[in-house]
Structure 1
Amino acid sequence: MTAKKRPKLLSHGRPPIINTKERERMSSKQSRNTIRTHHTLHKQRAAALKKGDKTLVENIDKAIEQNGGLKAYQAASKQGQSKTRGGDSSKVLVSWLREAGVINSSPSTVRERKRNAPLRLLEIGALSSENEISKFPRIIDVTRIDLNSQGSDIEKQDFMERPLPSSSNEAFDIISLSLVLNYVPDAAHRGEMLKRIARFLRESPERFLRESPERFLRESPESNATILPALFLVLPLPCVQNSRYLDERLLLEIMENLGFCLTHCRNTPKLCHYLLQMVGKSNRVKTGKKMIRDGPAMNNFCVVVE
């Protein structure tokens, strides 16, 4: 019997960090070009690694360095999320939490949150601690991690190496995965990441209700039970609208197989946002790579669940 392969880390295939000073503030066009070029080179590098072509990897690394490396990419991403660019994806999450009554500015809600522990949120791939969700520290306690921390309040950590919660107190009510899944080197690793995320979320209120009505009433805030625990997933729109191997129907089917159901979704000209509540356990259904459509200029983004 062959040993089961250990899921590769997010850092596998990640280009080297360039130890240079952060570039001066870029224009909107420059930041878009930096991000686009970085993603293209990163995909080429992952393909070269898979083939074992060390010479090509070295050449791509040089091209990545000329493009400014990971620091330039993160600087461009941070600018894209700045208030002046209107790109902070957590604004969408906050609006949905407000809509569901999880976040409310009324004094009674704040007092209630002071009596009870704040909801816990894990932000994977965090770029800043000053985004919209950070304005609610009494309601939402945010833990931020990234492969290359850009601040003292962002822990340098590979999510695939983060220890699993040992108790409900260490689990999270919300996990934010904004523009991270598309950066994972290959389709199978994306599936592994989504499977692992479910293990970091608290048990769903629906399970409490089915298995122990008394525990449900005792432990579940009346308004939060409708959408939490949840995954906030953000992807570039072309990942689901212009891929040969993935569309929104298949993405949501994968998430349902992993125990999630869709509660909110929103598209912008560049991004797709999803809030997915974890309502049960994975049914262990596998999803392979299968072409579902084809056309010129389409991409090959997909998610494989093994």
Structure 2
Amino acid sequence: MAVKKKRPQKSLASTRPPTVQRPKSISRTATKALINKHHLLEKRKQQAIAKGDRAAEAAISAEITALGGLEHYQKASLQGQRHDRGGDSSRVLMDWLQPCLSEHKAASEGIPLRMLEVGALSTQNACSKSGHFSIERIDLNSQGEGILQQDFMQRPLPKNASERFDVLSLSLVLNFVPDAEGRGEMLRRTTQFLHPPGHHLSSPSLNGSFPSLFLVLPAPCVTNSRYLDEERLSAIMGSLSYTKAATKTTQRLVYYLWKRDSATSGRGERFAKKELRPGSFRNNFAIVLK
């Protein structure tokens, strides 16, 4: 008589339904296409508003809603932060700041520096896990606990030093502002939330890196724009009392650390929309300061 083979016993866990469903992954191409489509529609919407064309504005708003609105855009952005998609941009910031942060921690018994993260998508990025920062996170559409739903342009201005920050992060935020003037005003406003230079008088290493602005943009905004290049961006930031402390360019992104070197909010220079590099294959990303 044939001997029946024993089947391996299934574990109890294997018979239970999963408690957490992983979100479906979308391809890198689809992620990029979705983000670009949102940017284009937001730009067209602002143009319609400027012209007073309410019918066009309503139609574009409906198209944005059909795409899933801001929430869907944010999910695509979160997808882009996966390690296999380029990862968390704040890791670059931590690489730049690690030497002075280690010295600060040893000298100050770990008193954290203050960071304002605009457009925050996660509470688990490299800066959050480092233990060096006390972080306030804001976003137009909060994706979870620990992120305040707030428009940076409507955030109340600091009343005193306790409400100012050592570093402000604008990672893939400025490029989502739909018009050139709005981008300029956002950059100008960052100066009002940072401590004045020399705030850390007892720590020369900190004064060398803070207060500062961490700025991340899609690389083509700087490398392939008709209206913005590295020299123009540096001039704009210089007019706002920022000096370039570090930069890194990859195929997809350009990273900057700008050190605030004056207590004023800028020299009041104007930067109009001016063509710097003609070409039909270039984009129209621009920053205007009035």
Q: Indicate the SS of the match to 2:37.
A: helix
* Conserved 8 A contact 2:169-2:213: yes
Q: Indicate the SS of the match to 2:247.
A: strand
Write the mapping of 1:134-283 to structure 2, written as runs, cut at 5 A.
134-137=128-131, 139-205=132-198, 219-280=201-262, 281=264, 282-283=266-267
2:100 maps to which of 95, 99, 102: 102
> 1:192–1:140: structure 2 CA closer, same or farther, 3 Å change rule?
same
Following superposition, the deviation at residue 89 of structure 1 comes to: 0.7
Following superposition, the deviation at residue 28 of structure 1 comes to: 2.4
Q: Deviations over 1:98-132 (max 9, x none)?
A: 1xx2332xxx85454436x3110100010111111
Cα RMSD of the aligned pairs, angstroms, is: 1.9
Following superposition, the deviation at residue 23 of structure 1 comes to: 7.2
- Cα distance in 2 for partners of 1:79, 1:263 equals 29
Q: Does 1:300 align with 2:271?
A: no
Count of residue correspondences: 267
Match of 2:7 in 1: none
- Cα distance in 1 for partners of 2:226, 2:55 equals 29
Letter paired with 2:39: H
Following superposition, the deviation at residue 287 of structure 1 comes to: 1.1
* Conserved 8 A contact 1:45-1:57: yes
- Cα distance in 2 for partners of 1:64, 1:110 equals 46
Q: Structure 1-normalised TM-score?
A: 0.82
Match of 1:285 in 2: 269
- Cα distance in 1 for partners of 2:30, 2:62 equals 19
* Conserved 8 A contact 2:104-2:206: no
* Conserved 8 A contact 1:88-1:132: yes
Match of 2:109 in 1: 114
Q: Indicate the SS of the match to 1:264.
A: strand
> 1:23–1:51: structure 2 CA closer, same or farther, 3 Å change rule?
farther
- Cα distance in 1 for partners of 2:70, 2:152 equals 18
Match of 1:3 in 2: none
- Cα distance in 1 for partners of 2:52, 2:277 equals 30
Following superposition, the deviation at residue 295 of structure 1 comes to: 0.2
Unaligned runs of 5+ in 1: 1-21, 209-215
- Cα distance in 1 for partners of 2:113, 2:215 equals 18
Q: Deviations over 1:259-306 (max 9, x none)?
A: 010010000101111101000121111111111121012111111111
Q: Deviations over 1:71-110 (max 9, x none)?
A: 1110010011123423211011010001xx2332xxx854
Q: Structure 2-normalised TM-score?
A: 0.87
Match of 1:129 in 2: 123
* Conserved 8 A contact 1:23-1:72: no
- Cα distance in 2 for partners of 1:298, 1:47 equals 20
Q: Indicate the SS of the match to 1:277.
A: strand
Following superposition, the deviation at residue 237 of structure 1 comes to: 1.0
- Cα distance in 2 for partners of 1:36, 1:113 equals 44
Q: Does 1:66 align with 2:61?
A: no
Identity of aligned residues (%): 44
Following superposition, the deviation at residue 65 of structure 1 comes to: 2.3
Deviation larger for 247-256 or 35-44: 35-44
- Cα distance in 2 for partners of 1:131, 1:113 equals 24
* Conserved 8 A contact 1:261-1:277: yes
- Cα distance in 2 for partners of 1:69, 1:180 equals 16
Q: Which has the larger radius of gyration?
A: 2
Structure 1 runs of 4+ off > 6 angstroms? none
